[in-house]
């Protein structure tokens, strides 16, 4: 089993779909399918149960995929150690999970600063709800994610604003969620002002790559934007 096969296996496990796995790792659907078939042939077992619309791991496949993830995490740790020994030169890709208001209001300036400091570093944005970001972090789809802190905000701000616009009441929402320009909704600042905190979450800080550590440090400089 090669590292490449483990990466493909991990991507399919995360997405449950050959096409989406290929999009995640930059491989065609047929390339993903061929790699998995070759791995199954090499191991002499079926790793996935093919179903309409996707695939799911067999019981044995779950055990093998879990072992593959451990190996991939160890490889990432070795790369981090090597990068630090070489003076911390950063390259590769950071996969970022963010909810819409962060994507629009905070990330453009943050990513511009990141690319200015580390031009060889690439980024990929995954935009979704809070629950989706948590799941992406848990399954390794993203390396780092933005989430409200403390974790007690579950409302859909777009829906709330639509209800206010329809004249159904008033609400208190973070300034980052307000669209520009506002149409039939009037925005007023609270006095005294209230602030919310936005956290940067990772699955394991110890196993995070040097690039992710650099991203977190840079994000802390933008914390006043929340």
What gap in Å lies between CA 177 and CA 102, rounded to an integer?
Answer: 8
Q: Which of 197, 104, 110 is nearest to 158 (CA)?
A: 104
In this structure, what CATH number is given to the domain that contains residue 34? Answer: 1.10.10.10
Tokens 């695939």 belong to 55
Stated pTM of the model: 0.53
143 and 214 in a single domain? The answer is yes
Higher pLDDT, 60 or 131: 60
* Shared domain check, 96 and 81: no
> Residue 14: pLDDT band by 50, 70, 90 thresholds?
confident
Q: How confident is the model at residue 62 (pLDDT cuts 50, 70, 90)?
A: very high
Band (225; pLDDT cuts 50, 70, 90): very low
Q: What is 165-226 written as a DSSP string? A: HTTS------GGG--SS-SS------SS----EEEEE-S-TTT--HHHHHHHHHHHHTGGG-
- The whole-angstrom separation of Cα 111 and Cα 97 is 13
Dist. CA 183–CA 53, nearest whole Å: 41
Look up the CATH number of the domain holding residue 207: 3.40.190.10
142 and 206 assigned to the same domain: yes
Average pLDDT of span 121-125 = 87
Query: Do 57 and 7 reside in the same domain of the chain?
Result: yes
Shared domain check, 99 and 80? no
Residue 77's domain spans which residues? Answer: 3-85
Last residue of a domain, one of 85, 102, 122: 85
Q: What is the pLDDT of residue 39?
A: 94
Out of 85, 101, 133, a domain closes at 85
Question: Are residue 37 and residue 62 in the same domain, yes or no?
Answer: yes
Final residue of a structural domain among 28, 54, 85: 85
CA distance 211 to 208: 8
Same domain, 66 and 107: no
Give domain status of residue 18, yes or no: yes
The answer, yes or no, to whether residue 189 has pLDDT greater than 80, is no
On whether residue 120 sits in a domain, the answer given is yes
Strand partners, 51: 54
The pLDDT-based confidence of 44 (bands split at 50, 70, 90) is very high
């Amino acid at each position: 089993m090669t590292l490449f096969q483990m990466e493909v296996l991990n991507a399919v496990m995360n997405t449950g779909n050959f096409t989406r796995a290929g999009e995640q790792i930059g491989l065609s659907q047929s390339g993903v399918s061929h790699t998995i078939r070759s791995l199954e042939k090499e191991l002499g077992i079926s790793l996935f149960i093919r179903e309409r619309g996707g695939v799911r791991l067999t019981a044995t496949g779950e055990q093998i995929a879990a072992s593959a993830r451990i190996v991939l995490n160890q490889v990432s740790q070795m790369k981090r150690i090597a990068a630090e020994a070489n003076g911390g030169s950063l390259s590769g890709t950071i996969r970022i999970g963010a909810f819409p208001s962060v994507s629009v209001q905070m990330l453009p300036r943050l990513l511009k600063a990141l690319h200015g400091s580390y031009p060889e570093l690439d980024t990929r944005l995954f935009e979704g709800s809070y629950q989706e970001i948590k799941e992406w972090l848990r399954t390794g789809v993203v390396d780092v994610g933005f989430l409200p802190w403390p974790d007690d905000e579950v409302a859909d701000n777009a829906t709330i604003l639509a209800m206010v616009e329809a004249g159904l009441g008033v609400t208190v929402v973070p300034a980052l969620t307000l669209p520009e320009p506002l149409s039939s909704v009037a925005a007023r600042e609270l006095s005294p002002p209230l602030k919310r905190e936005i956290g940067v979450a990772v699955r394991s800080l110890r196993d995070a790559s040097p690039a992710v550590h650099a991203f977190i440090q840079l994000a802390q400089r933008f914390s006043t934007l929340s």
